[in-house]
Every structure is written in C-alpha cells, then in structure tokens.
Amino acid sequence: MDMFIELSMILGITALISGLMKLLKQPLIIGYILAGIILGPYSLNIVNSIETISILSQIGIALLLFIVGLGLSPKVIKEVGKVSLITGVGQVLFTTLIGFFICRMFGFAAITSIYIAVALTFSSTIIIMKILSDKSDMKTLYGRIAIGFLIVQDLIVILILMAVSSLSTGFNATNLLFGTLLKGFGLLVVLFLLGIYVLPGLTKFIAKSQEYLLLFSMSWCLLLASLFHYLNFSMEIGALLAGFTLSLSPYRYEIGCRMRSFRDFFIVLFFVLMGSQMVFADITFYIVPIIVLSFFILFGNPLIVMIIMGLLGYTRRNSFFAGLTVAQISEFSIILVALGVKVGHVTNDILALVTSVGLITIAGSTYMMLYSNKIYSYISKYLKVFERKGRKVDEQKFHELEDYDIILFGYNRIGYDLLKYLKKTRNKFLVVDYDPETILNLAKEGIDCRYGDGSDSEFLNEINFSKVRMIISTIPDFDTNLLLINKVKEHNAKAIIIVVSTDIDKSIELYNRGATYVIMPHFLGGQHTTTLIENYGFDFDRFLEEKVVHIESLKKRKKRGQEHPTHDRD
C-alpha cells in the first residue's frame, strides 16, 4: 500500500474513533490506542509501514519532552530534585521487590519473576506528560515532582536496557556502563555551558525571525535527540535536555507555543503505533496473574509513592496526585520483556502477559488522573494516615493576617492586572495560586500569598471567608468555581464573588448558583475595544499612547512567563 494512502487511512480512522470517544466524553488517548489496535494485525491490518510511522512518532515524543524541558529551569530542579530522586528510586525498589514476590507466589521462575517485576516499575512518561499537559498541571507542585521522578525512572530503565542488551551481544556490561557514564558526564557539562553562555544570546539574535526561531528550535531538539541515540543514550533524554538548555532563553515561551501544534500531531502517531503493536496471545492461563498485577500497579504503585512522599513531609493531596502518575506501566516495560524474549530469558507468553497488564493499567490510570479531583474529594478523609504531623513541606504561607477584604485565586493573566489595582487600594488582600514558583516571586515582592488549589475542599476549609468582602477567581474551571461559590456562601452570604468562564451556558449556571459577576475574557475584549473607540474616536495620538502602555504591559507579562492561551481550557 502507498505510504501516503496508508497514513491517510490511519489518520482518518483515528479521527473517527477519537470523535466517538469525545462524544462519549472519554479520554482521547484511549481513542488513539484503540485505533491502533483496530488498525493493527489483529483487525484491519492497515499499519504496515512500521518503520516510517515509528520515526514520525519518535518526532512526537522528542517534541513533547523538548517542551517539558523548556519548563525545567534550574530553580525548578533545585525545588523538587531531592523528593523526585528519593521517590523515583524508592518506588522502583519497592515495586520490584513486591512484584517479584507476587510473581513467585504464582509459580513463575526466578528469572521470569525478575523480568516481570522490573517491567512493572516503570511508568509511561509520554502518557503522563500528555495528561498533565491536557489538565494544565505541568506547573503544579505535584506535576513538577512527577516529571522529576519520571526522569529518574527513565535513567534507571536506560541502564537496565543497556545491561540486558550487552548480555545478548557479548559485551562487558561493566566496561560499557563505565564508558557510558564518562560520555554522559562530558555531554552534560558541554550542554550546561552552552545553555548558560551561548544559547540565550543566540536565540535573541535568531528570534528576529519567528520562522527561523521555529526552524532552529526544531533542529536543536532533533539533533540532540539523535546525538544521544547515536551514543547509546535515550533519545528521550536528549530531547528533554535540548529543551532544558533553552529554558534560560528569554524566548522559551514563544518556542514552546509554536511547537505545540507539531507535538500534538506527531504524538497521536505514537499512541496509534503503540496500540497496533500490542501483543495478544492465548493468555487464558494467565488471567488471574494479569488481574492481580494490574491491581497492584493501579493501586499499589500510588500507595508506595504516597508513603514515601508522606514520610518526606508532603501533604496527602500532593502525594495522592503524584502517586496516580505511576499507576500504569511504560512502553519501556514492553521493550524490556521483548528484549528478554530475544535473549532467551523469557517466552512470548510473558510478553503477552505484560502487554495485557499495560493495556489495562494505561486505560485505568488515564481515567484516574483525569478524574483525580473528584476521586480525591471522596477519599481524602481516609488518606490522613499518609501525612506526617506538623508543618508540611508544601504548605507555603507568606502572610501574617487571618482576615482579608479581598482574596484573589489565580495570579496568572487576568490576576496580573487585578493585582496592580489591588496594590493601589488600602484593602487587605491575599493571593492564592497553585504554582509554587509564582508564590515565591510574590512573597519576594512583599505580597501576602499562599500556595493552594481552589479545587481542594480541605484547603478552602482553612481559609476564613466570614469577613471577606470580595472573592475573585481567575480560574476558568467550572467545577472549581462552583465549589468556591458554595464554600464562600456557607460562611458569608454578602460576599461579592467574581469568577471566570469561557462558556455561555456555564456562565449562566454560575450566576444561578450565586456568582455576583462572571468574567468572559473573549467577550470582554470586544467591549474594551468599543470603549477605546468611544473614548478616543479618531484621535491618533491617544491610540498611540494606549499602544505604548500596552506594549510595556506585554513586556512585563513576558518577563513573568505569562503567555496568551491557545484554547479555552487555558
């Protein structure tokens, strides 16, 4: 079949199945994987150009991790490095030990049990990054911690894959590992120096042409990914470091914005290819082990992470959300077992078993992560056992007062302008935001602020709403604003409640539930323009003055890392 026709059919069928998933209000990732299974050898058998589609999907993976790297500044690594390292290594060790004993309990041989147990420890970086991005949770504390321990997992799995590969080719694993570490360290030093002294100035020159900036960024991402692959490192780590080296560039936000569309297209092919390569065999003999192991990954892995993070002093909320990110196995898990089959350590039946566990846990964890807020609201009271007593590491409070006239939930974008007004008034105000970096920056400016999530019912219970005169929420999520309205109304029926919405029907519903005013940003833009025309008429000079003020405002926003949303969810 012609490659163009094959790719057209793949995308067409994927679009149909994903459209059905959207109608059923199911995650699109599930639709992509299902499309791959339908397109694969067990059904329509359309996916034949495996090598070409694999290359395209690898581009998607590289772009996804490149964009993640853009947000990993040295400040973020310093903030979550310790907890990510301890949690990542701890989860791998405990999952391997428990998984090994479960496998031995079912009568598997020792070498087979080791392969299965190790395969169970690794979580899918690609799937988790995609869901965190879809939920706009990449900048949250739990999101940053999750990204950190996923990187730790990826480094561990690379070393394991290299060791197993060396067994099949007869190389000395110790020499290979030692040489690799030296090469890796040298590469990191070079990239670190480039990221600090060369790339910021270079991108400033390149950014004079937005098209050239995109071309340079894409080239830098793929070149570093290819270099790492050539040197027997992970392509994914190379792409991540490519983004990280540009994280100090003043144009990192423009780069990320322009590359997201390419990422979303190519990453679809990765999930389709994953579905098409799922190995299915006669697994009736392994039904019980598959169910038990899937249950262990879906619930045991999050439990391990929650225990470790709880011991490190984190709240049960962040521990719970971070724990859900390891509730599935990775594509690397399947690759590891496939390599074990090639070496002769395990049989194809074990590969089918691990693939089945992968399919179940990927689907289950996707739903768990997407509906994590609702799940947490039901079970949070039972999770107190995972918290240490006393002050928590992630309870950042930079304020002394208990009673405020105004509380602002969400600083980014709309909140930025509101804060400028609040500073001019004599009202006592508090800013609440879920980005720990934002809170630290506000604290340095001497602004009363607190780290927290408006969708967390327990957090809202800690705030004294009884004397507050105005609540402003710039969070566009409907359920969060509804919860906020209900909490405020319980304690203060006369408080003015201003919220944000991007949907007309939901705006009306928020009014019906008690909102005093609902901001609709897209409509307000037209109203603001109308006001300018009414006030300035055809006065060119006054419009020019407005232009200068607006440019200065945009430059300040850019320095703070703010960007205009590309869709309503933002």
Written as one string, the DSSP assignment of 112-139 is HHHHHHHHHT---HHHHHHHHHHTT-TT
Whether 121 is covered by a domain: the verdict is yes
Residues 381 and 415 in one domain: no
Domain containing 443 equals: 397-519
Across 54-63, 122-131, 181-190, 298-307, the highest mean pLDDT is recorded for: 298-307
Q: Pick the last residue of a domain from 364, 386, 408.
A: 386
Q: What pLDDT score was predicted for residue 131? A: 86
Q: What is the pLDDT of residue 294?
A: 94
| Residue 457: how many other CB atoms lie within 10 Å | 16
Q: Is the pLDDT of residue 564 over 60?
A: no
Q: How confident is the model at residue 76 (pLDDT cuts 50, 70, 90)?
A: low
pLDDT at 370 over 80: yes
**Secondary structure of 425-469 as H, E, C letters:** CCCCEEEEECCHHHHHHHHHCCCCEEECCCCCHHHHHCCCCCCCC
pLDDT of 280 reads 65
Q: How many domains does the chain have?
A: 2
Segment 319-325 mean pLDDT: 92
Q: Are 500 and 519 in contact (CB under 8 A)?
A: yes
370 and 401 in one domain?
no
Same domain, 379 and 483: no
Q: Are residues 337 and 419 in the same domain?
A: no
Give the model's confidence band at 562: pLDDT under 50 very low, under 70 low, under 90 confident, else very high.
Answer: low
Query: 546 lies in a domain?
Result: no
543: in domain: no
Amino acid 560 reads R
- CA 7 to chain centroid, in Å, comes to 28
Query: Per-residue pLDDT tens for 114-136?
Result: 999 999 998 888 788 888 887 87
- Above 80 in pLDDT, residue 391? no
- Please check whether residues 191 and 122 belong to one and the same domain: yes
Residue 21 is assigned to a structural domain of this protein: no
Looking at the structure, do residues 421 and 497 belong to the same domain, yes or no?
yes
Please give the pLDDT value at position 179.
64
Per-residue pLDDT tens over the stretch 426-437 = 889 999 988 887
CATH number, domain with residue 269: 1.20.1530.20
Q: Are residues 418 and 379 in the same domain?
A: no
One domain for residues 343 and 437: no
Highest mean pLDDT among 6-15, 233-242, 296-305: 296-305
- Are residues 136 and 177 located together in one domain of the fold? yes
Residue ending a domain, choose from 336, 367, 386:
386
Average pLDDT across the chain, whole number: 83
Residue 549 included in any domain: no
Instruction: Tell me whether residue 25 is in a domain.
Output: no
In a domain, 429, yes or no: yes
What value does the mean pLDDT take over residues 72-98?
84
The more confidently predicted of residues 98 and 229 is: 98
- If pLDDT is split at 50, 70 and 90, which confidence band does 569 have? very low
Looking at residue 16, its pLDDT comes to 93
pLDDT, average across residues 323-334: 86
Cβ(405)–Cβ(469) below 8 Å: yes
The confidence score (pLDDT) of residue 174 equals 59
Same domain, 379 and 294: yes
Q: Does residue 98 register a pLDDT over 80?
A: yes
Read off the pLDDT band of 296 (50, 70, 90): very high
Domain boundary among the residues 386, 414, 440 is at 386
Q: Has residue 26 been placed in a domain? A: no
In this structure, are 362 and 473 located in the same domain?
A: no
The whole-angstrom separation of Cα 258 and Cα 43 is 37
The per-residue pLDDT for range 450-466, each reduced to its tens digit, is: 888 888 888 888 888 88
Q: Residue 570's pLDDT is what?
A: 37
CATH code, domain carrying 429: 3.40.50.720
Mean pLDDT to the nearest integer, 43-47: 83
The predicted pLDDT at position 171 comes to 52
User: Same structural domain for residues 379 and 401?
Assistant: no
In this prediction, residues 485-491 reach a mean pLDDT of 90
- How deeply is 450 buried, as exposed, middle or buried, from its count of CB atoms within 10 A (0-12, 13-18, 19+)? buried
pLDDT at 176: 58
- What's the pLDDT at 97? 95
